């Protein structure tokens, strides 16, 4: 190869590389091309190796041309690199754009469980009559759950409550909220107006109308000169507030060991309005709670003088009230925490 030939080759390589560089679209392709041309075994090197075959006098001139070609080629790589990196960065920014004005994903809001909500409504109504909410323990003793409520150990009335016992100190899971009456009497002096909401437990075979865990709200009022008429008036007000104005109510005789007399409190059927339907077994009435005048023996166990004080008590099942308010027909729904059920009570 002579001087002119080598110079031509170098210039041809330069022109080819300049147009190839201009045609690259990606940083990675440019880098590959750079290795191919300027790398150790690159094409420029191959041409330069031809210099060794030239006469000594010609070498500096070709060397100068070769250097100029290298500098020119390096410059176009450098310039195209700047361009391509800027382009790729811009594309990335465009792809990763965040629109800060986009509305956020809505947070799914929870809501009160229908039992909690119903118990809250019951408390709200009675609080308007001066009742104050108290709470007793779920693990009770036999004395408070039964004996002090006038239910002795071998009394047949114990059959009313199928009890779950706890393996410590003869304790049990309270079968009703009534033991709270005793606790309130011990802790306060009349006049007493207490409301006791809480979870209760019974040994039951579970079906649509029986649960082994359920909620009650207990009420207790004790003062001098309290009468059954006061109880009747209060419960009537409660029924109107809970189920609607103008609802008829009635007392029927009932039996509970801790009240004398004892009554069942009925409200006109909320489904048929009293004409009789399957929901009220065609009677037109629905029993919503048990109540009565606190038995003198219970007052005594509570540390109060029955000659001076009288009182009434009542106890209702929260699920029963919630069923009537929301037309729910199966107690199990309250315990399953199925969102399809719960979301209906927002
Ligand atoms: N404790 C009763 C039960 O679980 C409900 C009850 C009835 C409560 C009459 C009372 C009451 O306070 O006077 O079935």
**pLDDT tens per residue, range 95-145:** 998 888 999 898 888 899 999 999 999 999 999 999 999 999 999 999 999
Does ligand 1 come within 6 angstroms of the Cβ of 178?
yes
Using pLDDT thresholds of 50, 70 and 90, give the confidence band for residue 334. Answer: very high
Does ligand 1 come within 6 angstroms of the Cβ of 292?
yes
Mean pLDDT of 15-37: 93
Are residues 122 and 88 located together in one domain of the fold?
Answer: no
Are residues 162 and 210 located together in one domain of the fold?
Answer: yes
Query: Concatenated DSSP letters for 94-140?
Result: HHT---TTSPPPPPPP----HHHHHHHHHHHHHHTTT-EE----SEE
Does ligand 1 come within 6 angstroms of the Cβ of 235?
no
Residue 106 counted as domain residue: no
Are residues 275 and 170 located together in one domain of the fold?
Answer: yes
Smallest CA separation from ligand 1 atom 2, residue: 315
Average pLDDT, the chain: 93
Using pLDDT thresholds of 50, 70 and 90, give the confidence band for residue 225. Answer: very high
Pocket residue to mutate for ligand 1, from 312, 314, 319, most atoms within 8 A of Cβ:
314
Q: Which of 64, 95, 126 is the last residue of a domain?
A: 95
As a whole number of angstroms, the distance between CA 18 and CA 264 comes to: 102
Are residues 77 and 224 located together in one domain of the fold?
Answer: no
Smallest CA separation from ligand 1 atom 6, residue: 315
Q: How far is the CA of 179 from the centre of ligand 1 (A)?
A: 10
Q: Which of 95, 126, 149 is the last residue of a domain?
A: 95
Give the gyration radius of the chain's Cα atoms: 45
Are residues 120 and 90 located together in one domain of the fold?
Answer: no
Tell me if residue 207 falls in helix, strand or coil: strand
Query: How many domains does the chain contain in total?
Result: 2
Mean pLDDT of 215-228: 97
Q: Supply the pLDDT for residue 61.
A: 85
Are residues 243 and 150 located together in one domain of the fold?
Answer: yes
- Please give the backbone phi and psi of residue 202, each rounded to the nearest 5 degrees, phi first: -145, 155
Q: Supply the pLDDT for residue 1.
A: 67
Peptide bond into 33 cis (omega under 30): no
CATH of the domain at 162: 3.30.930.10
Residue 289 · residue 265 · CB < 8 Å: yes
Answer yes or no: is pLDDT of 157 > 90.
no
Pocket residue to mutate for ligand 1, from 162, 299, 315, most atoms within 8 A of Cβ:
315
Q: Supply the pLDDT for residue 47.
A: 81
Q: Could you identify the atom of ligand 1 that is nearest to the CA of residue 218?
A: 12
Are residues 180 and 327 located together in one domain of the fold?
Answer: yes
CA distances from 243 to 88, 275, 306 (A): 69, 17, 35
Pocket residue to mutate for ligand 1, from 178, 218, 252, most atoms within 8 A of Cβ:
178
Residue 99 corresponds to which tokens in the numbers above?
A: 């629109």
Q: How far is the CA of 314 from the centre of ligand 1 (A)?
A: 6
Residue 107 counted as domain residue: no
Does ligand 1 come within 6 angstroms of the Cβ of 176?
yes
Residue 102 counted as domain residue: no
Q: Which of 65, 95, 125 is the last residue of a domain?
A: 95
Q: Supply the pLDDT for residue 291.
A: 98
Are residues 277 and 327 located together in one domain of the fold?
Answer: yes
Handedness of CA 57, 62, 67, 68 (dihedral sign): positive
Q: Supply the pLDDT for residue 164.
A: 92
Residue 109 counted as domain residue: no
| Closest C-alpha to 264, from 273, 276, 255, 277 | 255
Does ligand 1 come within 6 angstroms of the Cβ of 314?
yes
- pTM of the predicted model as reported, rounded to 2 decimal places: 0.72
Are residues 72 and 195 located together in one domain of the fold?
Answer: no
Mean pLDDT of 327-338: 92
Residue 230 counted as domain residue: yes
Residue 100 counted as domain residue: no
Residue 108 counted as domain residue: no
| Closest C-alpha to 200, from 293, 319, 295 | 319
Q: Supply the pLDDT for residue 34.
A: 93
| Closest C-alpha to 260, from 225, 224, 226, 293 | 293
Are residues 76 and 134 located together in one domain of the fold?
Answer: no
Q: Supply the pLDDT for residue 104.
A: 87
Are residues 90 and 225 located together in one domain of the fold?
Answer: no
Does ligand 1 come within 6 angstroms of the Cβ of 313?
yes
Are residues 272 and 134 located together in one domain of the fold?
Answer: yes
Does ligand 1 come within 6 angstroms of the Cβ of 315?
yes
Beta strands in 231-276 (DSSP E): 249-254, 259-268
Give pLDDT tens digits for 48-102: 888 888 888 888 888 888 889 999 999 999 999 999 999 999 999 999 988 889 9
The domain in which residue 89 lies consists of 3-95
Residue 101 counted as domain residue: no
As a 3-state breakdown, the chain gives helix, strand, coil percent values, each rounded to 5, of 45, 20, 35
**Distance separating the N- and C-terminal Cα atoms of the chain:** 92
Contacts of 193 (CB under 8 A, 6+ apart): 129, 130, 131, 132, 220, 221
């Amino acid at each position: 190869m002579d001087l002119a030939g080598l110079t031509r080759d170098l210039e041809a390589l330069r022109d080819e590389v300049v147009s190839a560089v201009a045609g690259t679209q990606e940083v990675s392709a440019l880098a590959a091309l750079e290795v191919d041309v300027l790398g150790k075994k690159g094409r420029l090197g191959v041409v330069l190796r031809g210099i060794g075959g030239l006469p000594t006098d010609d070498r500096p001139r070709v060397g100068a041309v070769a250097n100029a070609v290298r500098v020119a080629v390096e410059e176009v790589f450098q310039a195209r690199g700047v361009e391509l990196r800027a382009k790729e960065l811009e594309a990335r920014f465009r792809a990763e754009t965040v629109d800060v004005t986009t509305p956020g994903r809505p947070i799914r809001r929870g809501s009160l469980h229908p039992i909690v909500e119903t118990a809250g409504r019951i408390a709200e109504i009675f609080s308007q009559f001066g009742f104050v909410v108290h709470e007793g323990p779920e693990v009770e003793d036999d004395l408070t759950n039964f004996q002090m409520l006038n239910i002795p150990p071998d009394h047949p009335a114990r059959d009313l409550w199928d009890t779950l016992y706890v393996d410590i100190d003869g304790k049990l899971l309270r079968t009703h909220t009534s033991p709270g009456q005793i606790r309130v009497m011990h802790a306060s002096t009349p006049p007493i107006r207490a409301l006791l909401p809480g979870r209760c437990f019974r040994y039951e075979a579970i079906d649509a109308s029986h649960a082994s865990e359920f909620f009650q709200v207990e009420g207790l009022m004790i003062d001098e000169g309290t009468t059954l008429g006061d109880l009747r008036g209060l419960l009537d007000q409660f029924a109107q507030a809970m189920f609607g104005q103008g609802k008829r109510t009635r007392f029927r005789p009932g039996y509970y060991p801790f009240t004398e007399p004892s009554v069942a409190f009925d409200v006109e059927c909320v489904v048929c309005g009293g004409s009789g339907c399957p929901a009220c077994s065609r009677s037109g009435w629905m029993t919503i709670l048990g109540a009565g005048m606190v038995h003198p023996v219970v007052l005594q166990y509570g540390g109060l003088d029955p000659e001076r004080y009288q009182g009434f008590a009542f106890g209702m099942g929260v699920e029963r009230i919630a069923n009537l308010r929301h037309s729910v027909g199966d107690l199990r729904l309250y315990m399953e925490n199925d969102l399809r059920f719960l979301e209906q009570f927002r």
